[in-house]
Amino acid sequence: MISLNVNQKNYQVDVSPDMPLLWVIRDTLGLTGTKYGCGVAQCGACVVHLNGEAVRSCITKVSRAEGKKILTIEGLSENNNHPLQKAWQEIDVPQCGYCHSGQLMSAAVLLRENPNPTDQDIDDAMAGNICRCGTYLRIRKAIHLAAEMQQKG
């Protein structure tokens, strides 16, 4: 049995230690907000926070997550009211939406570490999150808006 803390809840899961964290999150715990994209750490759809860092859960073994705090898109805020989620809604960022839980989780790390990012900071932070619909400009705009919201409280 492996002990996990996901979105501030403790779980005991009976899985192989080398199972990808993404499988455990989606298939064992039923938290399907995190998406499977490429499976080789190239697209960013599967990003979750592991002790606050935006790891790619598709290639992260569940054993690496034991004893650490995992945060998925379901736990980013209590009522979908994280500044990024509000900005995403206001600007209507997604098209198909498949990549956006990963986009939001990556952007959340950026805003935590840099509350007032420039376009370059955003590009540097988000370069590993691919959007096949090409919503990049709206993503950038929404991150700027979320930064403003965050600063206003």
Partner 1 sequence: MKQHSQNNTKKILPLKSIAIMLVMLFTVAAVTLAFKEKNDVALYNHAPANINKDSIESVKAFMQVYKVLMSPRCMNCHPSGDVPLQGDDSHLHTMLPKRGKEGKGVYAMKCTNCHQPENTAGVHMPPGDPNWHLPPADMKMVFQGRKPHQLAKQLIDPKQNGNKNKQQLIAHADDVLVLAAWNPGEGRTLPPMSHAGFKKAWITWLEKGAYAPKK
First to last CA, the chain: 41
The residue among 9 and 116 lying less far from partner 1, judged by its C-beta, is 116
**CB hemisphere CA count around 152 (13 angstroms):** 8
Segment lying near partner 1 (by CB under 8 A), choices 29-37, 46-54, 76-84, 89-97:
46-54
For residue 70, the cross-strand partners are 6, 50
Select 79 or 120, whichever has its Cβ closest to partner 1. Answer: 120
Contact (CB, 8 A) for 50 and 24: no
Residue 5 near partner 1 by CB under 8 A: no
Q: How far apart are CA 41 and CA 80, in angstroms?
A: 26
Is 101 near partner 1 (CB under 8 A)? no
Chain positions contacting partner 1, by CB under 8 A = 40-42, 47, 53-56, 59-61, 64, 105-107, 109-110, 113-114, 121, 124-129
